Amino acid sequence: MNIRELLNRLGVPRSSGRITARSPIDGSVIGSVAPTPDVNHAVDAAGDAFIRWRRVPPPRRGELVRLLAEELRAAKSDLGLLVTVETGKILQEGLGEVQEMIDICDFAVGLSRQLYGLTMATERPEHRMMETWHPLGPVAVVTAFNFPVAVWAWNAALALVCGNPVIWKPSDKTPLCALAVHALVERAAHRLGGIPAGLCQVVFGGARTAVALADHPGIALLSATGSTAMGKALAPRVAARLGRSLLELGGNNAAVVCPSADLDLTVRAVLFAAVGTAGQRCTTLRRLIVHNSIRADLVDRLKTAYASLTLGDPREAGTLVGPLIGRPAFTAMQSALEAARSAGGAVHGGGRVMVGNWARAWYAAPALVDMPGPSPLMATETFAPILYVTGFDTLDEAIAANNGVPQGLASSIFTRDLGEAETFLSAWGSDCGIANVNIGPSGAEIGGAFGGEKDTGGGRESGSDAWRAYMRRTTNTINFGTELPLAQGIRFET
Ligand code: UN1
């Protein structure tokens, strides 16, 4: 495949620099970009753009996002392929990621005619009280390699209709996807006309660039997706200047499988959630908590299902598992499996494959690890396809296991019992931001608020009322009478 032709079709200009993009499919270099020397220029330009953009009526801002959705529709197959080439996720998932961008754009266009505030009853006669949502200011969006385009879109589509400029710092591993998306944004902006320069920008660089954005007082909101360690490094810096952050950090997602579960459906759901994206989603299923009465049966079925997985070139139809992003991911996976063996776990799969085809690429067979009991090693998120299986006898025990990790992103229960399902969803059930019944923890639609608690960072992005994080709220009290009654009945008269 000629990558340059693909990039040309997507309107990505030639570039070169210290940040090298490699395709995890075969380990080859597919391009490079230069790091942004400092972010001040970008933040200043975003500040200027904000002055103009906040005065544009929201539905007009929505028009830019609507045109972006059109560009994305037209470029879907090319951009989806680029996502596959740069991240190694299978083409179905690369295309799915672009669809997720289109969906959030459509959502944001509708939102651009809403952005509702409440009107509240006031205690004073001839007064009215209401709230108004206003644009917040420049938003910095730091994204990870595994969703190199969709996570930007969740943030940018909302931020733009809310009236904010966006500065994007993509992962150093996926700069070409960022350039391709930026080219589509520029095309949409050109078609609409009158868009302030600096409204949408991309900056490149590693942790130093992210830190510079976190520290900059011109960034009103830092939205960061990535590891918990990254979030813990950036959030205190934003907090130190009383800025806002929106964190989407690690997950360590579990599924509880109850005796009444439909095991055929469960196996299919587990497979997509545990081995999809080669285990490199923040929502990947990492822990399977199975009722002891069905555990042996389910593990057998899963072993059979794992054995039938097609691993290989993610561009080929039929492949379900592509490569890991690189060697460090493979090494981390092997260390976790070694620790699991030492803890008495029975490890099925997990070895390196395809090495004969591509010596510089890192393909791993997904691993199923039958654990003798809960182990501290299961408290860590290893960004690779490892599924630990443990047993339970009572639902309370299963919920405690689901919640007994530092992270709190996504969770599922498989059951046909209404009481079990509702208990899992209740206040004393799963403590995660996402709790599902009879579907796996990954693959959320954009319409819901996406995010999680505890070490996952507490942020909510995408649907529902997540837009509010990108706006500031003003409470307005209006006196349309001639008297000046004070709240709380206070008398203050000469
Ligand atoms: C991520 O891995 O950072 O729910 C996001 C999902 C996707 C998003 C994952 N819609 O799995």
Cα–Cα distance between 256 and 391 in angstroms, integer? 9
Active site residue 248: yes
Task: Report the separation in Å between the CA atom of 444 and the middle of ligand 1, taken as the mean of its atom positions.
Answer: 7
Q: Of the residues 248, 381, 420, 461, which is catalytic?
A: 248
Q: What separation in Å is there between the alpha carbon of 224 and the centre of ligand 1?
A: 14
Q: Closest ligand 1 atom, CA of 410? A: 4
345, 373 in Cβ contact below 8 A? Answer: no
Judge whether residue 82 has pLDDT over 90.
yes
pLDDT per residue over 384-403, tens digit each? 999 999 999 999 999 999 99
Ligand 1 atom closest to Cα of 251? 2
Ligand 1 mutation pick, 147, 149, 277, max ligand atoms within 8 A of CB? 147
How far, in Å, CA of 333 to CA of 329, rounded?
6
Looking at residue 31, what is its pLDDT?
Answer: 97
| pLDDT for position 409 | 98
Give residue 40's pLDDT band: very low, low, confident or very high (50, 70, 90).
very high
Nearest CA residue ID for atom 1, ligand 1: 282
What pLDDT, on a 0 to 100 scale, did the predictor assign at position 441? Answer: 98
* pLDDT of 316: 98
105 — pLDDT class (breaks 50, 70, 90): very high
Closest residue by CA, ligand 1 atom 3? 282
Calpha distance 452→408 (Å, rounded):
5
pLDDT per position as a tens digit, 135-188: 999 999 999 999 999 999 999 999 999 999 999 999 999 999 999 999 999 999
Instruction: Select from 442, 445, 446 the residue to mutate for testing ligand 1; criterion: most ligand atoms less than 8 Å from CB.
Output: 442
What is the per-residue pLDDT across 47-65, written as a single tens digit (0 to 9) for each?
999 999 999 999 999 999 9
Residue ranges around ligand 1 (CB below 6 Å): 146-147, 151, 225, 281-283, 442-444
Which atom number of ligand 1 is nearest to the Cα of residue 450? 4
Report CA(64)–ligand 1 centroid distance (Å).
25
CA of 132 to the centre of ligand 1 (A): 31
- Residue 1 pLDDT more than 80? no
> Atom 6 of ligand 1 has which residue's CA nearest to it?
443
Q: How far is the CA of 417 from the centre of ligand 1 (A)?
A: 28
**359 burial type by CB count under 10 A (0-12 exposed, 13-18 middle, 19+ buried):** exposed
Phi and psi for 470 in degrees, rounded to 5? Answer: -100, 10
Residue 461's Cβ-count burial label (10 Å; 0-12, 13-18, 19+) is buried
Kindly give, in sequence order, each residue whose CB lies less than 8 Å from that of residue 424, ignoring residues fewer than 6 positions away. Answer: 256, 395, 399, 411, 413, 415, 430, 435, 437
Ligand 1 atom at shortest distance from the alpha carbon of 248: 3
Distance 435 CA to ligand 1 centre (A): 14
Statement: residue 13 has pLDDT above 70: yes
Out of 142, 282, 434, mutate this one to test ligand 1's pocket (max ligand atoms within 8 Å of CB): namely: 282
> Does residue 115 come out as left (phi exceeding 0), alpha (psi in the -120 to 50 range) or beta?
left
- Say if CB 62 and CB 111 are below 8 A apart: yes
Ligand 1 center from residue 137 Cα (angstroms): 26
Quote the tokens at residue 304. 């059979």
Ligand 1 pocket test: which of 87, 450, 456, 461 has the largest number of ligand atoms within 8 Å of its C-beta?
450
Q: What is the CA radius of gyration of the chain?
A: 24
Burial code of 249-263, b = ≥16 C-beta within 10 A, e = fewer? bbbbbbbbbbeebee
Ligand 1 atom closest to the Cα of residue 100 is 10
Tell me the pLDDT band of 128, cut-offs 50, 70 and 90.
Answer: very high
Residue 243 has pLDDT above 90, yes or no: yes
> What pLDDT, in 10s, does the model give residues 190-226?
999 999 999 999 999 999 999 999 999 999 999 999 9
Domains of the chain (ranges; CATH) run 3-249+457-476 (3.40.605.10), 253-437 (3.40.309.10)
| pLDDT above 80: residue 104 | yes
Which atom of ligand 1 is found nearest the CA of 434?
A: 4
